[in-house]
Chain A
Amino acid sequence: MNPVHLSLTEAARLLADRSLSATELTRACLEAIRQQDATLNAFITVAEPQALAAAEQADQQLAKGDAPPLTGLPLAIKDIFCTTDMPTTCGSRMLKGFLSPYESTVTRRLRQAGAVLLGKTNMDEFAMGSSTETSHFGPTRNPWDPERTPGGSSGGSAVAVAAGLALGATGTDTGGSIRQPAALNGITGLKPTYGRVSRYGMVAFASSLDQAGPMTRSVEDAALLLQTMAGHDPLDATSIPEDPPRYADSLERSVKGLKIGLPKEYFPAELTDAIRNPLHEAQELFRRLGAELVPVSLPHTSYAIQTYYILAPAEASSNLARYDGVKFGYRCQQPRDLADLYCRSRAEGFGAEVKRRIMLGTYVLSSGYYDAFYRKAQKVRRLIADDFAAAFREVDVLLTPTAPDVAFRLGEKTDDPVAMYLSDIFTINVNLAGLPALSLPCGLHEGRLPVGMQLIGPPLGEEVLFQTGHAFQRNSDWHRRRPQPVANGAAS
């Protein structure tokens, strides 16, 4: 078997007993990237020399026998995490070629744990999008069907993991950007509790919603990666000042007697059978495993999209003000004066979706509209969080679809922003409430397009997600399905 298809946990075992070397594994990934990435476009930067050097070091470390937990495991990093040895572009012309003077906490921790960073993955520009089509570096293609999108914004990371270009990846999730592409590519993605993973060095989109998390081939792998990523960071004032528990311990817990809530708002009449049927089977599996399925209601669910598209752009409009052509990033040619420098640098450096959200955010924060939009949205956000809090007094975990449909075609929704925004209809609430949620594969529509199931936990409830998700994966094999390798030039 080609080692690129191993899970992180399996690969770690083989590396530890020296039946596989980190260099071999890294070379295999780099080869897979060479074979497929001209078509898939999952990477913006492939850092081959750095990856091979890190792999070599990992092998020495493994030979000594005291290797940290991720030693020699090749990972792909969403191009939103700042790294000092390769550019950080955030999918934007604005940051094309930008080399950060400092390292993000997440990548620093992964490196310290021995991981081999293969490169930086494609994403929607500044994480704004649900299809990885807004990237300045071209769209990423879904390995299950290269005519379809991988979802977004962490589309590049999802594809790298699904197509065997990397064994695991990091993503970030502001409104579903880990979970929706995980669902559309048949992999496992976790959005942790807000504050569980440091945001330091992660290019900000909407600060109060952004959260980094692992994208992997299994729940077990997600627990392994999160163990390194999570934990208090004194450089992030919103990071939770508590040590994470030992996530591996929660994996083997039985779901017998567990109360799984089914929020009725997440199963509307118009939900397609492509999604409804696999989810129904998943529920039946849990019932057989002894879990109790409980109908619940989250009455403010329908306000989530509107609330999100007020709050997220508001924060984004402010977070993106620093891209002004003065200190770093793109600067227009021959500015006439200061206003021209600002206007043209931003007009030329940002793409259409980013500009749309900056305009929207500027509008909802402006005087005279603040109370009508921003303040009201904050209140609704509270109501949405209260809905979840009430539900978690009844149940241990919630089960919902991750996305309203399977992967859509490239270009299908690019001219209709609202249709695109609705791709995140089942994931956005979780960000508004700051909760952890896991997406894992639960079916293949027509045998070729993955379907995702979402498990939502209470604050700091990552353990119940691992417990529930791992139980599912021990009793199903959807997470073991792989797309056929895509040859370069396979798509038009």
Chain B
Amino acid sequence: MSAYEVVIGLEVHAQMLTASKIFCGCSTRFGAEANTQVCPVCAAFPGVLPVLNRQAVEFAVRTGLAIEGEVRTVSEYSRKNYFYPDLPAGYQITQYELPIVLGGHLEIEDEQGRRRRIGITRIHMEVDAGKSLHEGIPGASWVDLNRTGVPLMEIVSEPDLRSAEEAGLYLKKLRALLRCLGVCDGNMEQGSLRCDANVSIRPKGATTFGTRCEIKNLNSIRNVQRAIAWEMERHIEIVEDGGSIVQETRLWDANKGETRSMRSKEEAHDYRYFPEPDLPPLLLTEERIAKIRAALPELPEQRRARFEADYGLSGYDAGVLTAAMELADYFETALGVLREAGFQDPKGVANWVMGDLLGYLNRSGLEIGDSPVSSTQLARLLIMVLEGTISGKMAKQVFGQMCASGGEPEAIVAEQGLAQVSDQGAIAAAIDAVLAANPAQVAQYRAGKTQVMGFLVGQVMKATKGQANPGLLNTLLTEKLKG
């Protein structure tokens, strides 16, 4: 056990899913040809002025309410001044002293079911910058301003996270929440969710903070965790060698699996923040906030509680199923199809979804949205089991085929003749044949050695290619053996 503990705070930038940019009417669509979604406002031509996107404000409020933060009725925009080619105005419009949301929290839960409350300091709104392109252009760089002006939320956590794993859990939880709220698609690879990590170490039990480093360029949850773990080791090594940590900004190099210095505190920018004079303070009435609150969707935590209460699921199962909105929807849709057919088996459906389905998806590297088996298809497969058409074991086989090559469960069962045989006559005939072929075992049974029952059942199953209805088989065989 290490004598140190790591202290982590995350700054998450979430691109908001608005149709237009935050201060002009340009589209925010991802992947368009460079500089095709640019107007004089987002390119900061002389004389242009920003006009705030109402939808972006609504999204920030929605998020603030969902983390139980204080949505401020008065907030303010500021300018953060610095020069960079992809920042056309020479300043970023952001919120500084008076952000739109103050405080809040998210609860995370580790594999052992321990719950921890992670504080959120603030959420503020700001504008995204463009993109500089350096590749394939010798001696020059190009600038793409399509992303310039896309609205961002910066969600700043308290330094409450104590391991790389916790940081990952927090990010997953936050991403699920943002997706559930419909405010961000949470796609880290495309950059619509970005994360910087502040990392420091301290001796276990200490209450003061060590010197921190900020790590940038983290484009997946895995990289967040790798970078934190690596950085923690670096700090411990330095401290154990008698050195001290330099406060600086570091870049994560995913290929080399290490962080490297980007700039020190001394060379840090002086951003010269001041209130944005082109935008009046943002005033929100209590009525407007209440209206947004009333329109909030069911949040992951609420859904989890409902899953436990209504479906009798364990806390862990309910937690897994509600970790992503799509997964919870999948589960509930399947349950609905079952209900239509007159069945109630939430625990069974949960087992299938968490076991077979998630297992397959994880092995294949697929998201729930890409699942080859739809929720209704899975439900219909389970109905066949509940109706006794196929056995549970058979269902696993059918599910495997549905995953591998698609197809409707009923068709697969019919095509391959997998339907359970519940025809008494057919089973009786198979039993007769097996009893005739195994007189010794029959005699043993009748002499009181009832263990041979298993062998005989197996033989009948073999004869019926596993399709015999097990219950019926048992009843008929026991009767025949009684003789």
Contact = CB atoms under 8 A, between A and B. Distances in A.
B274 A101 contact: no
Interface string B36-51: 0000100111111111
B280 A237 contact: yes
Given A82-B47, A95-B46, A367-B270, A322 B277 contact: no
Nearest to A88: B46
A245 interface: no
B132 to A, nearest CB: 10
Contact of A82 (B46, B50, B91): B46
Interface string B78-104: 010101010011110000000000000
A342 interface: yes
A374 interface: yes
Contacts of B280: 237-238
Contact of A326 (B91, B143, B274): B143
A321 B89 contact: yes
Contact of B46 (A90, A236, A238): A90
Contacts of B384: none
B49 A235 contact: yes
Nearest to A89: B46
Nearest to A314: B274
Interface in A280-333: 314-315, 317-318, 320-322, 324, 326-329
B345 interface: no
Contacts of A315: 274, 277
A433 to B, nearest CB: 15
B475 to A, nearest CB: 80
A338 B143 CA distance: 13
A329 B43 CA distance: 13
B271 to A, nearest CB: 8
A318 B88 CA distance: 12
A141 interface: no
A403 interface: no
B298 interface: no
Contacts of B272: 317-318, 362, 365-367, 370
A217 B214 CA distance: 62
Interface residues of A, number: 45
A80 B45 CA distance: 13
A45 interface: no
A430 B479 CA distance: 107
Interface residues of B, number: 28
A379 B74 CA distance: 19
Interface in A4-22: none
B189 interface: no
Nearest to B84: A338
Nearest to A342: B83
Interface string B251-278: 0000000000000000000101110011
Contacts of A202: 47
Interface centre among A104, A207, A322, A324 (most CB of B within 10 A): A322
A425 to B, nearest CB: 23
A100 B46 contact: yes
A102 B89 contact: no
B40 A322 contact: no
Contact of A238 (B81, B83, B91, B278): B278
A338 B277 contact: no
Contacts of A314: 274
A316 to B, nearest CB: 11
Contact of B277 (A88, A98, A208): A208
A202 B79 CA distance: 19
A365 B88 CA distance: 20
B90 A324 contact: yes
Nearest to A239: B49
A3 to B, nearest CB: 32
Contacts of B52: 237
B47 A204 contact: yes
Interface in B53-91: 79, 81, 83, 85, 88-91
B279 interface: yes
B88 A237 contact: no
Given A317-B81, A370-B274, 17 more contacts: A80-B47, A98-B46, A100-B47, A102-B40, A199-B47, A199-B49, A202-B47, A207-B277, A208-B277, A237-B279, A238-B279, A322-B89, A326-B88, A327-B88, A365-B81, A366-B272, A367-B270
21 contacts: A88-B47, A95-B46, A98-B46, A199-B47, A203-B47, A207-B278, A208-B277, A237-B50, A237-B278, A237-B280, A238-B279, A238-B280, A321-B83, A322-B45, A322-B90, A324-B85, A328-B46, A365-B81, A365-B274, A367-B272, A374-B274
Interface of A: 80-82, 88, 90, 95, 98, 100-102, 104, 199-204, 206-208, 234-238, 314-315, 317-318, 320-322, 324, 326-329, 338, 342, 362, 365-367, 370, 374
